[in-house]
Amino acid sequence: MDWSFIQKFAPMYVEAAVLTVTIGVIGILLAVVIGLVCALVKYYRIPVARQIVAVYIELSRNTPLIVQLFFLYFGLPKAGILLSSEACGIIGLAFLGGSYMAESFLSGLRSVGKVQLESAESLGLRRGQVMRYIVIPQAASVSVPALAANVIFLLKETSVFSAVSLADLMYVAKDLIGMYYNTGEALTMLVAAYLVIILPISIVFSVLERRMRRAGN
């Protein structure tokens, strides 16, 4: 192991990690918003919008992220729409993640029994109050494990951003391997960078899940 190589190029990985996390966080937050809206549309069976959401979910979940990125980065310019690598990464991650988040939220919403909803309505609670005080608290505890898995999955999917010339962690690793052939050192720093990013998130979600289970009991 060439430690001088690692010491020399570690700052490049730090810079790439910051970019990866920034784009990942923005994309995941957008995915959460998209997923919540889609879940509510399906939960309340809103006409027309429900069919549009169904088509979106099938299209998103059945096409790889790299194909979606290629369409955004190489396909849209043919129609006169130019997007930066960063914008493609954010949009692609939000588009892919939104469908997975929608299913997670929907499973949580459907876990709330109809008896509780009917009882709340009989007490005079409005739909917004029912959602705020009864549905969301219970649905959240059910959705947390799936949401955690989706967040980690989407963060790992950022490894394909290099395909659209985004200087993320994978891009830096491949660039260094191509120039210096220090494959072991470059890949070691790549693995270490992803562990530093993803492992704390996994631990936080595990703790949160345990606390919500205890609160539910």
Mean of the pLDDT values across residues 66-89? 91
What's the pLDDT tens digit per position in 138-157?
777 777 888 888 999 999 99
pLDDT confidence tier of residue 179, bands split at 50, 70 and 90: confident
Between residues 90 and 216, the one the model is more confident about: 90
Between residues 214 and 170, the one the model is more confident about: 170
Domains of the chain: 3-216 (1.10.3720.10)
Question: Residue 216 above 70 pLDDT?
Answer: no
What's the pLDDT tens digit per position in 102-121?
988 888 877 776 776 667 67
Question: Residue 113's pLDDT is what?
Answer: 66
Question: Residue 217's pLDDT is what?
Answer: 54
Question: Residue 195 above 60 pLDDT?
Answer: yes
Q: For the chain, how are helix, strand and coil distributed in percent, rounded to 5?
A: 85, 0, 15
Instruction: Give the H/E segment covering residue 4.
Output: helix 3-43
Most confident of 79-88, 139-148, 205-214: 79-88
- For residues 70 and 82, what is the distance between their CA atoms, to the nearest angstrom? 12
Least confident of 27-36, 125-134, 138-147, 157-166: 125-134
Question: Residue 215's pLDDT is what?
Answer: 59
Output the pTM of the full model: 0.86
Going by C-alpha positions, the residue among 61, 65, 54 that lies closest to residue 24 is 65
Mean of the pLDDT values across residues 22-51? 91
Average pLDDT score, the chain: 86
Structure tokens at 120: 């709340």
Question: Residue 25's pLDDT is what?
Answer: 94
**Are the beta carbons of 169 and 194 closer than 8 angstroms?**
yes
Question: Residue 7 above 90 pLDDT?
Answer: no
